[in-house]
Structure 1
Amino acid sequence: MNAQIQNALNPDVAKVLEAVQGRSLDRIFFVACGGSSALMYPSKYVLDREAKTIASDVYNANEFIHRNPATLGEGSLVILCSHSGGTKETVAAARFAREKGALTVSLTAKPESPLAEASEFVIKYEKASYFDETVAKNSDFYLMYQLVTGVLNHKEGNALFSDMVESLENLGTVYEKTKAQFLDRSKSFGETYKDASIIYTMASGSNYCAAYMFAVCILMEMQWIHSHPIHAGEYFHGPFEVLTPEVPFIMLLGLDETRPLEERALEFSRQYSDNLIVIDAKEFDMEGIADSVKGYIAPLVLNKVLGVYATAIATARNHPLETRRYMGKVPY
């Protein structure tokens, strides 16, 4: 590892990579709930594309315990995430994984939280991915990618690690440019759809995380708008029957290998809808991002652009993103 990469590597991530070197590792489990789970989808995609000896799965934290995977054991790395570090299902999952002999690593903004105490290693992040922030360094996505590509490099010699770490250093500039680029469009979106009763969001591959976060964490949780993330590959197997000229669809197009699925869905939808909101990663200024990782970085930028859209619709509706009926308000 050269000095430039060493200096850019987060110290908490470096500690985990050092521990990984001394262990036999054949499986990675990504375990969390809600948006914390969705942010793991791109890392799962990276492993599917790059890993030759390490299998991976994404689990809801509660189901992880109840399903009790037979492959969970001493050869497992379990990566967990909770912004507050207090999500009870995720805390229980960390304890469960440790009892099985797995190496547990948790990402959280609260290093003194119950999740941190339940895990062997803790990686503290500074910003949550789905808020309207241009900050990239030491955010949740940033650290997740450092960790996953670092594991691939340490265990399989995968060369993607250097390109990823160097590219992540330029991510903040990319965020700033795209936020400015889509600001006017986001305000128009907010005014146009502030009274919409339902809004769908569609994507595929590594970009599905952005569709999930916006549909579930923003529209449903934070705006109380009926919504659902639709996988572009599943669109023609039922969901396209709800397409009418009036129903808004946010269509996300990324740069990974599944883009043809998104393009097919968009081409069809243009024939029957007057309310398509298209956000295409080909429009992004990705200067400073290596070609080898642009497909992996695109969903992070798509998610950040949707953060701008989230602020715009919340402002237009006079419904702050922090408003809740039940979450943190009543027992559940």
Structure 2
Amino acid sequence: MDAKKVISDILAEKKEIKDVYFVACGGSLVDLYGADYFIKAESSTIHSSFYTSKEFVLNPPKQLGEKSLAIVCSHSGNTPETVEAAHMAKDRGAAVITLTHAAGSGCDNDRFIVWVYPWDDDELVLSPMGITLDLMTELVQQQEGFAGYEHVKEGLGKISAIVKAARETVHERTIAFADKYDHASIIYTVGSGANWFQAYGLAICSLMEMQWMHASYIHSGEYFHGPFEVTEKGVVYYQMMSAGKNRPMDERSLKFIKEHTDDYVVVDAVELGLGAISEDVVDYFNPILFYAMSCEYRAALAHNRNHPLETRRYMGKVAY
């Protein structure tokens, strides 16, 4: 599918979009946060909101209606509350784009604009993170104009090569990290900006779900408003150093962590090549890079712990 045509067709019908709602669960919800952040930062005419699917269904926003766009994502395409959310948004008059990896699934329905994406770790620009950034760039450009439009397009063309090189750079580091921390009592993931939900995703999906490790996530800007009190040796920190406007928050938290413990790892977007993307839009590419890095670190942990990433205790095993 083509993002420019999708948005052009929606605007031809709706004339204007006033609200965008990003709706999903778990890892799919993590994938949507960067695009939500983009709209909040770059649009003067569009309001953006970010919902877990069941909350969207149980307590739908009053503004949801004819001038709304709902972007609903389920990798499997059959997450019950996500499919329900898509239908509810459509019933309320919104344009609905569903993103799924699974053709023929519940999200692949003629009621919606369906985007079935491939899943290729070497081409994350084709994943929901890249697709939604492309869609929202088109929406802002077509509805009100966006000075960074060409720079985002250039970034989308560069990010796959940046990710590939970064994977090679961190390979040995991930092995060292896993050797040292594969049985850590807890790992705190720290990040900010568009990358904030990558810290969330690494904690709840990669560590808690896929490795059954205790983990929690901390916003770099909130670190000094409580969490820094537990900084001590033996407590592990995974600090994400973003490129762009929010980097000073990450630098501040990292400085304190380094002063009070030796148990940390730093993953730095600038060192890993994100500086090749134009400074005015680089913030929105942090999530794509950091998702790839999280995959590398969790794979190293899985290898050392002899705990395959697909292993589950409850998910898909028991009723819930």
TM-score of the pair, normalised by structure 1: 0.92
Give the aligned partner of residue 178 of structure 2: 190
SS of the residue corresponding to residue 65 of structure 1 reads helix
- Find out whether 1:103 has 2:95 as its counterpart: yes
SS of the residue corresponding to residue 331 of structure 1 reads coil
Residues 76-225 of structure 1 mapped to structure 2, 5 A cutoff: 76-117=68-109, 119-127=111-119, 133-225=121-213
Give the aligned partner of residue 65 of structure 2: 73
Determine what percentage of the aligned residue pairs are the same residue: 38
Q: Judge conservation of contact 1:35–1:213 (CA < 8 Å) in 2.
A: yes
Q: CA RMSD in A?
A: 1.6
Give the aligned partner of residue 10 of structure 2: 20
> How far has the Cα of 1:271 moved from its partner?
1.7
The structure-2 alpha-carbon separation of the partners of 1:119 and 1:262, relative to structure 1 and needing over 3 Å to count, comes to farther
> Which whole-Å deviations, capped at 9, do the CAs of 1:220-255 have from their partners, x for residues lacking one?
000000111111122122222222111000011101
Count of residue pairs the alignment pairs up: 318
Q: Which moved more, 1:66-75 or 1:54-63?
A: 66-75
Give the aligned partner of residue 31 of structure 1: 23
Q: Which amino acid aligns with 1:276?
A: Y
> How far has the Cα of 1:299 moved from its partner?
2.5
Q: Partners of 2:276 and 2:213 in 1: how far apart?
A: 37
Q: Judge conservation of contact 2:125–2:288 (CA < 8 Å) in 1.
A: no
SS of the residue corresponding to residue 239 of structure 2 reads strand
Q: Partners of 1:84 and 1:185 in 2: how far apart?
A: 32
Q: Judge conservation of contact 1:174–1:287 (CA < 8 Å) in 2.
A: no
Q: Which amino acid aligns with 2:281?
A: V
Q: Partners of 1:138 and 1:45 in 2: how far apart?
A: 19
Q: Judge conservation of contact 1:42–1:296 (CA < 8 Å) in 2.
A: yes
- Find out whether 1:238 has 2:230 as its counterpart: no
Q: Judge conservation of contact 2:243–2:274 (CA < 8 Å) in 1.
A: no
> How far has the Cα of 1:143 moved from its partner?
0.9
Q: Partners of 1:86 and 1:108 in 2: how far apart?
A: 9
Which of 225, 235, 238 matches 1:247? 235
> How far has the Cα of 1:218 moved from its partner?
0.4
Q: Partners of 2:243 and 2:214 in 1: how far apart?
A: 28
Q: Judge conservation of contact 2:99–2:117 (CA < 8 Å) in 1.
A: yes
Q: Judge conservation of contact 1:232–1:261 (CA < 8 Å) in 2.
A: yes
> How far has the Cα of 1:38 moved from its partner?
1.2
Q: Partners of 1:305 and 1:268 in 2: how far apart?
A: 23
> How far has the Cα of 1:137 moved from its partner?
4.1
Q: Partners of 2:318 and 2:76 in 1: how far apart?
A: 17
Q: Judge conservation of contact 2:275–2:282 (CA < 8 Å) in 1.
A: no
Give the aligned partner of residue 8 of structure 1: none
Q: Partners of 1:202 and 1:286 in 2: how far apart?
A: 19
> Which whole-Å deviations, capped at 9, do the CAs of 1:282-311 have from their partners, x for residues lacking one?
202247533332221122112211111111
> How far has the Cα of 1:53 moved from its partner?
0.5
SS of the residue corresponding to residue 115 of structure 2 reads strand
SS of the residue corresponding to residue 195 of structure 1 reads coil
SS of the residue corresponding to residue 126 of structure 2 reads coil
Q: Judge conservation of contact 1:44–1:58 (CA < 8 Å) in 2.
A: yes
SS of the residue corresponding to residue 319 of structure 2 reads coil
Give the aligned partner of residue 268 of structure 2: 280
Q: Partners of 1:150 and 1:111 in 2: how far apart?
A: 25
Q: Judge conservation of contact 1:206–1:256 (CA < 8 Å) in 2.
A: no
Q: Judge conservation of contact 1:13–1:123 (CA < 8 Å) in 2.
A: no
> Which whole-Å deviations, capped at 9, do the CAs of 1:107-146 have from their partners, x for residues lacking one?
1101311022275101121127xxxx22234222111111
